[in-house]
Amino acid sequence: MTAYIIRRVIIGIIVLLLVTMLVFLLVRLLPGDPLMVYMGQFSVGGSGTTRITPEEYQFLYHQYGLDRSLPVQYIDWLGKIFHGDLGKSVTVGQDIGELIAERMPRTAYIGLITFVIGAVGGTFVGIICALRRGSWMDNTLTTLANIGMTIPVFWLGILLMYLLSYKLGWLPTHGWTHPLDNFGKHISQIIMPVLAMAVGSIAGLARLVRSCMLEVMRADYVRTAWAKGLQERVIVVRHQIKNAMIPVVTALGGAIGMILGGSVFIETVFGIPGMGRLMTTAIFDYDYQIVQAGVLLFGAIIIFSNLIVDIAWGWLDPRIRLA
Amino acid sequence: MSIVLDVQDIKTYFHTEYGLVKAADGISFQVNQGEIIGIVGESGCGKSVSILSVMQLIQTPGEIVDGKVMFDGQDLLRYTANGAEMRAIRGSKMTMIFQEPMTSLNPVLTICRQVTESLELHLDMDRQAARERSIELLKGVGVPDAERRVDDYPHQFSGGMRQRVMIAMALSCNPRIIFADEPTTAVDVTTQAQLLELMKDLVTRQNTSLVIVTHNLGVVARYAQRIYVMYAGRIIESGLSDDIFNHPRHPYTVGLLNSVPRLGERHGTRKLIPIYGLPPNLINMPPTCAFLARCTEKVEKCSKEPWPALRAVGDQHYISCYVDIKGK
Ligand SMILES: Nc1ncnc2c1ncn2[C@@H]1O[C@H](COP(=O)(O)OP(=O)(O)OP(=O)(O)O)[C@@H](O)[C@H]1O
Ligand SMILES: [Mg+2]
C-alpha cells in the first residue's frame, strides 16, 4: 500500500506542476498586455482608464521582470507562490493570499456540507432503489434522479429563490452571516445554496450506486454468499457494498469538482462572499491575478481529492493495492 | 443405504420477455448417503437450474412452480426461499461448489474471511477458532503454505487453487451433501483430475454425498456410482455409471459418448462423431420427444406420440425413449 500511495503522490505532484504551467501560460497568452495583469486596465499615451507614458511603461515592464525569458519568469513566479506570495490585487488593493484566506473557508464550508449531504443522500437513495428494484418507490426515485441530474445548478438556484423567497417568503434571498454571530439566520441563508448544489450530486450518485449495486447483486460471489446461508443484511453489508463502492468513489471525487464549479454560480446568485464570488467579480474586473490564484487553488483541491480517491480505491480493492 | 436427498418432479420456469423458459421440466433424482452421482448434459439443458432449485437459489425471473425436495424428512420447497430454515441448511448441511472459480470468490475479502464466515455462522466458532480451522481446511485441500496464504486475496490464487478454496468452504461444516456445478470446466486437464480425486477422497472420508454436474460424461463416469443424463430440461436416461458408460440405451447418450474423448483413451483410436443439430429452444418445445430432430434411431411412433416417460430397461436403468437401442 505504501508504495502505491507514494506512486500516486508523485503523480499528483507532477500534475500539479503541469497545472501551474498552464495557469501561468494562460495569463501570459491572453490577448492584451501582460502588464495589465499587474496593473489593471490602462492605456499608453491615449485615453483610457489609466494613462501612462511610454517611459513609465518601459520602467514598469522591466520592474515586473517581463523582459526576461518565459521559463525564468515562470520559475520566479512559482517560487513566489511557493512562499505564499500570490501578489496584490489591482482592483481590491489587498494581498491575494489574505483575500483567499478570508473567502475560501466559506466556500469550503458550504461545499463540505453539500458534499456530505450529496454523498450520504445519493448512496442511501441508490441502495434503497437497488434493494427494492422495480417497485413504485424505485421508479419514482429513479425518475426524479434522472431529472435532478439534468437541471443546471444556477437555474435551480434561481428557481428555489423565486419559490421559497419571493413567492413564499420563507427564506432570505441572499446574504451571509457567520454561524457564530447568528446561527438561525446563518442556516436560513445557506439552505438554498446547499440544496441547489446537492440535488445534482444526490441524483448522479443515486443513479450510479443503484446500477453498481444491481450489477454486484448478480455477481457470482454474491450467489456464493447466498449459498452459504448468510442473511440478506450480511450479504449486502459484507459482500455487496464494498464492491459496489469502487466505481462510486471515483464519482465522489468528481463531485468535489462539480461542487467547486457550482460555487462560482451559486455564490453569485445568493450573494455569498466566498471564493466563487471572488472569482466571478475578478473575471468581470479583469483582475487576472485573482483568477490565476483561484484557478490554481481549485486545481490543487481537485488534484488532492483525486489523490484521496486513488488511496480509497487501493483501500477498497486489493487488486489495485497489491498490484 | 439410506436416501439423503429425494428430488421429485421439480419444475422451474423462467418468465422471460420472449416467453416461458421451461429450464427444468419435471426433474427427479435421488442421492444416497455417501454416494457420488453425476448429472450430465449439454450446455443449457438445465443442470444448474435443477440443482439451484434444490437449494432454492433461483432468482427472478425464475420460479420453482412445482415439485418436492425431500431432505431429512422435510420438503425444502415448503420453506420460504431465504427464510431461517432454508438458511440453516444452506452452507451447512447442503453446500455448493460453483462453476467459475475466478468470479465465485469475493475479490475484496481475504480467503480467511470467506472461509470463516460459514464456520462462524453455522458452527458458532469465534474469530480465532474459525481462523485456525480455516488453515486446517486449506491444508486439507492441498493449499501450500496455508498459514500465510490464508490472508491472501482471491486474485493472488490460481484458478485451481481458488477451486480448492471453494472445496474447503463447501466441506467446512461437514455437510450431508455437496453439489459441484461443473467444478473443473475452468481449469486444465491435469488440475481437473487432481481436483476430482481430491473431492472424491474427501467426501469418501466424511461419508458425504456428492453430486457432480458436468457436460463431460467421460469424466464423471470414473467417479460417480450413478449417472443422470439430461436433455432439454428433462432426465432422459439414468442408471449405474458402468451401464450408462458402457451400455447406453438412449440415442442421445450414445451420441454424447461418441462425441467426446474418453479418459485414458489413446488419441486417434476412435473417430469422434458430433451430434448434429442444436438442442431445441426451451420456449417452444415440441410436443414430441425433444431429441427427435437430431435422432438417428427414430421410428414412426416417435413423431406421433408425446415425449415418453422414463421406463425401466434393466436393474436401476431407465430411459425415456420408445426405441431401446440394446433391445432393437
Ligand atoms: N436468469 C435466467 N433468465 C432466463 N433464462 C434462464 C436464466 N437462467 C437460466 N435460464 C435458462 O435456463 C436454461 C438452463 O440453464 P442452466 O444454467 O441450468 O444450463 P446448464 O445445463 O447448467 O448449462 P451449462 O453447462 O452452460 O452451465 C438455459 O437454456 C437458459 O436459457
Ligand atoms: Mg451450468
Chain B residues with CB under 8 Å of A231 CB are 82, 87
Residue B319 near residue B326, CB atoms below 8 Å: no
Give the 3-state secondary structure of residue B215. Answer: coil
Ligand nearest to the CA of B52: 1
**Residue A232 grid coordinates:** 440478506
Q: Give me the domain span that covers residue A247.
A: 96-322
Structural domain contains residue A314: yes
**Model confidence at A40, in pLDDT bands (50, 70, 90)?**
low
Mean pLDDT in residue range B184-204: 84
Q: How close is the Cα of B212 to the center of ligand 2, in Å?
A: 11
Is residue A250 located within the same domain as residue A151?
yes
Question: Is pLDDT of A42 > 70?
Answer: no
- Interface check A228 vs B, CB under 8 A: yes
Sorted by where each begins, the domain ranges of chain B are 3-103+176-319
Strand partners of residue A51? A43
CA terminus-to-terminus distance, chain B: 34
Which residue CA neighbors atom 25 of ligand 1 most closely? B43
Which of A82, A114, A145 delimits the end of a domain?
A: A82
Are A230 and B91 an interchain contact pair (Cβ–Cβ within 8 Å)? yes
**Model confidence at B27, in pLDDT bands (50, 70, 90)?**
very high
- Ranges assigned E (strand) in A184-311: none
Is residue A102 located within the same domain as residue A194?
yes
Question: Is pLDDT of A33 > 70?
Answer: no
Structural domain contains residue A88: no
Question: Is pLDDT of A48 > 60?
Answer: no
Are B100 and A220 an interchain contact pair (Cβ–Cβ within 8 Å)? yes
Mean pLDDT in residue range A160-168: 84
Q: Which of A18-27, A112-121, B120-129 has the lowest mean pLDDT?
A: A18-27
**Residue B144 grid coordinates:** 501450500
Structural domain contains residue A125: yes
- Distance between B280 CA and the closest CA of chain A, angstroms: 27
- A79-111: pLDDT as tens digits: 888 887 877 776 777 888 888 888 898 999 989
Res A160: pLDDT: 86
Question: Is pLDDT of A173 > 90?
Answer: no
Res A283: pLDDT: 79
Among candidate residues A275, A278, A211, the one with its CA nearest the CA of residue A246: A211
Structural domain contains residue A136: yes
Are A238 and B117 an interchain contact pair (Cβ–Cβ within 8 Å)? yes
**Model confidence at A132, in pLDDT bands (50, 70, 90)?**
confident
CA distance A75 to B290: 80
Is residue A130 located within the same domain as residue A74?
no
Structural domain contains residue A16: no
Q: Residue B321's Cα: distance from chain center in Å?
A: 23
A229 closest CB neighbour out of B59, B91, B105: B91
- Interface check A233 vs B, CB under 8 A: no
Closest ligand 1 atom number to CA of residue B46 = 18
**Model confidence at B264, in pLDDT bands (50, 70, 90)?**
low
Question: Is pLDDT of A4 > 80?
Answer: yes
Which residue CA neighbors atom 6 of ligand 1 most closely? B14
Which residue CA neighbors atom 11 of ligand 1 most closely? B23
CA distance A152 to B272: 66
**Element of type H or E holding B219:** helix B217-223
- Distance between B13 CA and the closest CA of chain A, angstroms: 19
Among candidate residues B118, B157, B158, B124, the one with its CA nearest the CA of residue B137: B118
- B85-97: pLDDT as tens digits: 999 999 999 999 9
Is residue A195 located within the same domain as residue A63?
no
Provide the CATH number for the domain around residue A164: 1.10.3720.10
- Interface check A7 vs B, CB under 8 A: no
Strand partners of residue B69? B7
A227 closest CB neighbour out of B59, B95, B108: B95
Tell me which of B45, B214, B283 to substitute to probe ligand 1's pocket, judged by most ligand atoms within 8 Å of the beta carbon.
B45
DSSP labels for B8-54?
EEEEEEEEETTEEEEEEEEEEEEEETT-EEEEE--TTSSHHHHHHHH
Res B233: pLDDT: 92
**Residue B248 grid coordinates:** 447406453
Residue A38 near residue A292, CB atoms below 8 Å: no
Average predicted confidence (pLDDT) for chain B: 90
Among candidate residues B193, B198, B190, the one with its CA nearest the CA of residue B166: B198
Full strand arrangement of the beta sheet holding B311-314: B94-97, B177-181, B209-214, B36-40, B226-231, B234-240, B317-319, B311-314
Which residue CA neighbors atom 14 of ligand 1 most closely? B46
Question: Is pLDDT of A46 > 60?
Answer: no
Enumerate helices (H) and strands (E) in chain B, giving the number of each.
10, 12
A318 closest CB neighbour out of B86, B103, B153: B153
**Count of domains for chain A:** 2
- State how beta strands B177-181 and B94-97 pair: parallel
- Interface check B173 vs A, CB under 8 A: no
Is residue A56 located within the same domain as residue A191?
no
**Model confidence at A186, in pLDDT bands (50, 70, 90)?**
confident
Prediction ipTM score: 0.91
Is residue A305 located within the same domain as residue A159?
yes
Which residue CA neighbors atom 5 of ligand 1 most closely? B14
Residue bearing the bigger pLDDT, A61 or B262: A61
Chain B residues with CB under 8 Å of A226 CB are 57, 82, 90
Mean pLDDT in residue range A52-66: 75
Tell me which of B13, B21, B182 to substitute to probe ligand 1's pocket, judged by most ligand atoms within 8 Å of the beta carbon.
B21
**Cβ-based contacts under 8 A for chains A and B:** 77
| Residue list, ligand 1 pocket, CB within 6 Å | B 14, 16, 21, 23, 41, 43-49, 61-62, 182, 215, 282
Q: Which of A172-186, A273-287, B156-170, B173-187 has the lowest mean pLDDT?
A: A172-186
Is residue A58 located within the same domain as residue A111?
no
CA distance B94 to B53: 12
Among candidate residues B120, B92, B260, the one with its CA nearest the CA of residue B176: B92
Is residue A248 located within the same domain as residue A197?
yes
Question: Is pLDDT of B328 > 70?
Answer: no
**Residue B261 grid coordinates:** 474423448
CA distance B177 to B209: 5
Compute φ and ψ for A86, nearest 5 degrees: -95, 5
CATH architecture, range B3-103+176-319: 3-Layer(aba) Sandwich (3.40)
Give the 3-state secondary structure of residue A250. Answer: helix
Chain B residues with CB under 8 Å of A316 CB are 108
Q: Which of B34-43, B238-247, B295-304 has the lowest mean pLDDT?
A: B295-304
For B164, counting Cβ atoms within 10 Å of its Cβ (0-12 exposed, 13-18 middle, 19+ buried), the class is buried
pTM assigned to the model: 0.82
Residue bearing the bigger pLDDT, A145 or A68: A145
Chain A residues with CB under 8 Å of B105 CB are 221, 224
For A11, counting Cβ atoms within 10 Å of its Cβ (0-12 exposed, 13-18 middle, 19+ buried), the class is middle
Structural domain contains residue A6: no
Q: Which of A195-199, A281-285, B90-94 has the lowest mean pLDDT?
A: A281-285
